[in-house]
Structure 1
Amino acid sequence: MDKSAGFPLALALLVFAPLCFCQNNNGGKLYPQFYDHCCPKASEIVKSIVAKAVAQEARTAASLLRLHFHDCFVKGCDASILLDSSGKILSEKRSNPNRNSARKFEVLDEIKSAIEKECPNTVSCADILALAARDSTVLTGGPSWEVPLGRRDSLGASLSGSNNDIPAPNNTFQTILTKFKRQGLDIVDLVALSGSHTIGNARCTSFRQRLYNQSGNGQPDYTLDPSYAAQLRKGCPRSGGDQNLFFLDFVSPTKFDNSYFKNLLAYKGLLNSDQILVTSSAQSKELVQKYAENVELFFEQFAKSMVKMGNISPLTGSRGEIRKHCRRINKS
């Protein structure tokens, strides 16, 4: 009788014990199955809310993908970009690359809230960002990949890092490549990840100099197709209209494909940081040509490079924390 009475209790303990916490017992490495036992519905919740948000506004996909990129390039993939300013924390949202352009934080708030109800204090905001970036890519027609998980959230932000480490539209090719190399990424990753500009928008302020004064001599950028430039000038005047939005890929702006690379070969890249992939490096131009010709090759490399980027300096084990709210650390 004792054995039969004790068995269900032992089984129950075995089944429910893992639900209390997730442990990174894989030497601090990330792995896709991290939440399989402690929060098995996590991925499903992220996908559902991202799908709803993208259905409401197609631009959301690019915004979420960009947040993951801007997070990983500053202090690693630790959700530091999601923190609001408070106490000693100066939010990365105030940096030049993020101010007036980083967006859709409310989607991540909604995901976090839903996951906290399902499994409290378990899933990090950093992992939510990584999953949302993958789902955004898939929802717009791009490749899928297994997202390694097990990141923890930072206890601070770096406004200076956000200003200095994220590649800027007017950076030279060498500067951008150097910023990628600092993160352990190479020229192949640079070109493939730039392909995320197949979706999304950019503001007039981010490319105006190409239309009117590229080299400080009052002349437009000679590497910009004249007819495309004339079209852009209609909505991006010399002054005013700073926040006016333009598609990064005017051919298929909401579809994740390889049109972006075809546009570059036609000298119709919107940002200077896009077009220099063709004009400043023979190696990157060759990659652009390959991805323009073969969408499967681009998709395959994009997925690999996203996993690689998602592995930049993650907090694991006892480092960092699992934030209750993505906008603030738990102590505040």
Structure 2
Amino acid sequence: MQLLWVAPAHLLLLCSVALLQVLTSQASASTVVGFYSKTCPRAESLILAQVRKKFLVDKSITPALLRMLFHDAFVRGADASVLLDSKPGHPAEKDALPNLTLRGFDVIDAAKKAVESVCPGVVSCADILAMATRDAVSLAGGPRYDVPTGRLDGKVSIKEEALNLPSPAFPVEQSRESFFEKGLDAEDMVALLGAHTVGVALCGFFNDRLFNFRGTGGADPNMNPVLAARLSTVCPNPFFTESDADPPINLDQATPALFDSAYYHQLVAGNGILQIDQEIIADPSTASHVRNFTSPQAFFPAFVKSIIKMANIGVITGSSPLGEVRFKCNVSNGHVHTSGKPAAPARRQPATKSRLPVKPPVVPVPLTGHGRRGSKPKAPGVGPLPPRKPPHGP
């Protein structure tokens, strides 16, 4: 087990994450830590090398991969369906409005190419996405945790299904229902929202909180008035201007490039940017988790537990006909022309499509968004998690 970036004073945090690793090493009956230890022992180091290479020139790759993993897991499960390109007459998730600002596909492709050169046909794109996200989190100062692997890649990707991603505009109760539907509880939701400690959101996603909150003609009274006044000089007032300016704003106003617990301190101080961010400190069902997570000793282990759970939603494993190990992450194997016969895939567990307990369907809910509300996003977003159901932003 490896742990990255933990200050000497945080020995308690080390112990907490280490214990959590033991408890979650069998996080799913269908994925296990060390799945590729014999079939592709260099896989994790090859993936880390590609993520580190990107991180050195672009720190925003951390929120980008976090957001991509969230968008993948919440649609059809963690099967890399978000990576598939559209086919004629069959638009894929990647082309849905909430996903138009996803970034980081180049990193996943580079990692896949590196792994394929050593272990062809063995490591799935779904596993690469999960491990690459972990690596990006640790490089940004967060915990390095063991990722249970053994996922297969899905063969299906449907654009319309991605329109139901949870949105940062949803109230807490609706957001909780979206997470419950995926087998995640309120603590998981608050821990995963901690990904907002890195990344940005465009002004269009929250400027109603600055200029005309719920028709009052003023700012959201729950936002720190100093922050609201400052942001109102940066974000254009949509009620008095036709400006196309839509600058990105850090979701964590304290240490936006560092994966730490400062995001929760910001919420306590009234500095939440998105509506959902500020509401989780006001709602009795989530406020205690927010206050608890102001301590990294509490936040890091909880985040590890929750992101492992999220990355095991609906996984396909074994020899299931629903999945495969893609040769290229953007196309299913039936649409790839290869030169020579590919190597046989790794031995896998009995076929299964694992799903966490779910509740009856409800109106779905998102985390964060990075486009302009009510319009097609103009430029790639670099925030962490997802966009919202039309009208959009996240």
TM-score (norm 2): 0.74
Using the alignment, how far apart are the partners of 1:295 and 1:41 within structure 2?
31
2:251 is equivalent to residue 252 of structure 1: no
Alpha-carbon distance, 1:59 to partner:
0.6
Alpha-carbon distance, 1:214 to partner:
2.7
Aligned to 1:62: 63
Q: Is the 8 A contact 2:194 2:264 kept in 1?
A: yes
Q: Is the 8 A contact 1:122 1:322 kept in 2?
A: yes
Aligned to 1:18: none
Aligned to 2:358: none
| 3-state SS in 2 of match to 1:325 | coil
Amino acid at match of 1:200: G
Aligned to 1:310: 311
Using the alignment, how far apart are the partners of 1:223 and 1:187 within structure 2?
21
Q: Deviations over 1:287-316 (max 9, x none)?
A: 111111x21111011001111111101011
Percent identical residues? 38
Aligned to 2:366: none
Using the alignment, how far apart are the partners of 1:128 and 1:298 within structure 2?
25
Alpha-carbon distance, 1:282 to partner:
1.0
Aligned to 1:53: 54
Aligned to 1:287: 289
Aligned to 2:271: 268
Aligned to 2:37: 36
Alpha-carbon distance, 1:242 to partner:
5.2
Alpha-carbon distance, 1:217 to partner:
4.1
Question: 5+ residue gaps in structure 1?
Answer: 1-26
- Higher helix content, 1 or 2: 1
2:129 is equivalent to residue 129 of structure 1: yes
Question: 5+ residue gaps in structure 2?
Answer: 1-27, 336-394
Amino acid at match of 2:284: A
Q: Is the 8 A contact 1:248 1:270 kept in 2?
A: yes
Q: Is the 8 A contact 2:236 2:246 kept in 1?
A: no
Q: Is the 8 A contact 1:152 1:321 kept in 2?
A: yes
Q: Is the 8 A contact 2:81 2:157 kept in 1?
A: yes
Amino acid at match of 2:168: P
Alpha-carbon distance, 1:241 to partner:
4.4
Q: Is the 8 A contact 1:89 1:156 kept in 2?
A: no
| 3-state SS in 1 of match to 2:249 | strand
Aligned to 2:139: 139
Alpha-carbon distance, 1:94 to partner:
2.5
Counterparts in 2 of 1:68-147, with a 5 A limit? 68-99=69-100, 101-147=101-147
| 3-state SS in 2 of match to 1:246 | strand
| 3-state SS in 2 of match to 1:283 | coil
Amino acid at match of 1:327: N
Q: Is the 8 A contact 2:201 2:251 kept in 1?
A: yes
Q: Is the 8 A contact 2:235 2:246 kept in 1?
A: no
Using the alignment, how far apart are the partners of 1:125 and 1:218 within structure 2?
48
Alpha-carbon distance, 1:158 to partner:
2.8
Alpha-carbon distance, 1:28 to partner:
6.1
Q: Deviations over 1:96-155 (max 9, x none)?
A: 3222x2111111111111111111111111001100111111111111211000111111
Shift in alpha-carbon separation, 1:61–1:105, aligned structure 2, 3 A: same
Using the alignment, how far apart are the partners of 2:332 and 2:211 within structure 1?
44
| 3-state SS in 2 of match to 1:282 | coil
Structure ID, larger Rg: 1
Q: Which has the higher contact order (CA 8 A, sep 6+)?
A: 2
